[in-house]
Amino acid sequence: RVLLAQAGAVRPVAGDPQPRIGGQRAEGVEQHGQPLALLVATRMTSARAFRSSRLLVAATSLRIALAPVVMALVLAGGGTAEAVAAALFAVAAATDFLDGYFARRWGVTTKLGSFLDTTADKLLITGVLFALVAVDRASPWIAMVIVGRELSLLGLRAAVAAARGGTAEVVESWT
């Protein structure tokens, strides 16, 4: 009841032992040995989590879709195309930040989401680096160092996951 009251789904009324859902009394109806109020509130919170996870998947999918668009704009060249590419790259970076922030805040982190998030990041960064090298806007050896670092981290995470018999937690920090 404490968890449900915190979620705002079940509201006890002073002097009334029965919880209320949407202002209606839950009259001791039970299903599967659980009070109906508990089942309804659980469904409500899981529906919120489902909607939240769909929003996060959409943000990651947007990043994956933006990678080839940004690459094409960089390769097209010209002042306007490069400005649009920079703006779209900034949008992708913002969705990366917001995706991670809200996933942790809402508690809807999943192994698939973690995998897709890192894959989207690698696609975006690697694709843009290759495009910048192709138009002589970045040094090839710097691009090789960055892409090599990403691939080695990917390999190390896979080795750690294999050693643990599961998956490795993706932890990235700026320190």
HSE-up (13 A, CA, CB side) for residue 138 = 20
HSE-up (13 A, CA, CB side) for residue 100 = 16
CA distances from 16 to 11, 42, 63 (A): 10, 22, 50
Residue 48: per-residue pLDDT? 66
Residue 111: per-residue pLDDT? 78
Residue 71: per-residue pLDDT? 95
Q: Assign residue 147 a region: left if phi > 0, alpha if psi is -120 to 50, beta otherwise?
A: alpha
Residue 115: per-residue pLDDT? 81
Residue 40: per-residue pLDDT? 42
Contact, 18 vs 27, CB < 8 A? yes
pLDDT in tens, the chain (175 residues): 333 333 444 444 455 555 554 455 545 544 455 554 444 444 435 666 667 778 888 899 999 999 999 999 999 988 899 999 999 999 999 999 998 888 888 888 777 888 888 889 999 999 999 999 999 999 999 999 999 998 898 888 888 878 887 655 555 544 4
CA distances from 173 to 114, 165, 170 (A): 15, 24, 10
d(CA 128, CA 87): 13
d(CA 69, CA 77): 13
